[in-house]
Structure 1
């Protein structure tokens, strides 16, 4: 998806955002409906998935920004 969107002329950030949203949605639906065959409330599962995804995105972004200065200081 990312490569196709870039070929179509979208910027890297926009293409990445769309590709991540598509892959996250696909993975959520496949894991919920096929891998684990969940029978719980669908919208509650979506809300929990989105909350966890946002947390992981924010923490990962913070960690990537924090790590290089810390490792450079140890040299």
Structure 2
């Protein structure tokens, strides 16, 4: 499994204090899973576009850029 991950075009990002704080801020005010809060927080902090089809992210649509699929 570990070998498979290294062949994919992804980057593993460690959860530092800034990322954890932003995820916690989302979690405290939104009805989202903690994992989704981390994804949203990472997109927000990196000014990146989050690609998803998960309607749960509609709660943060005004705070970060989302590309809706599906």
TM-score interval, smaller chain: under 0.3
User: Which structure exhibits the higher relative contact order, with contacts defined as CA atoms closer than 8 Å and separated by 6 or more residues?
Assistant: 2
**TM-score, structure 2 normalization:** 0.25
Greater share of strand? 2
**TM-score, structure 1 normalization:** 0.25
Greater share of helix? 1
